[in-house]
Amino acid sequence: MPIDLEVGGVYLPPIAQALLLALPIFLLLDWTLRRLGVLGFVWHEALFEGALYACVCATLILLMGA
Distance CA 22, CA 16 (A): 10
Enclosing domain of residue 25: 5-65
The predicted structure's pLDDT at residue 2: 64
The predicted structure's pLDDT at residue 7: 75
2 within 8 A of 14, measured Cβ to Cβ = yes
The answer, yes or no, to whether residue 24 has pLDDT greater than 80, is yes
The predicted structure's pLDDT at residue 4: 75
User: Domain tally for the chain?
Assistant: 1
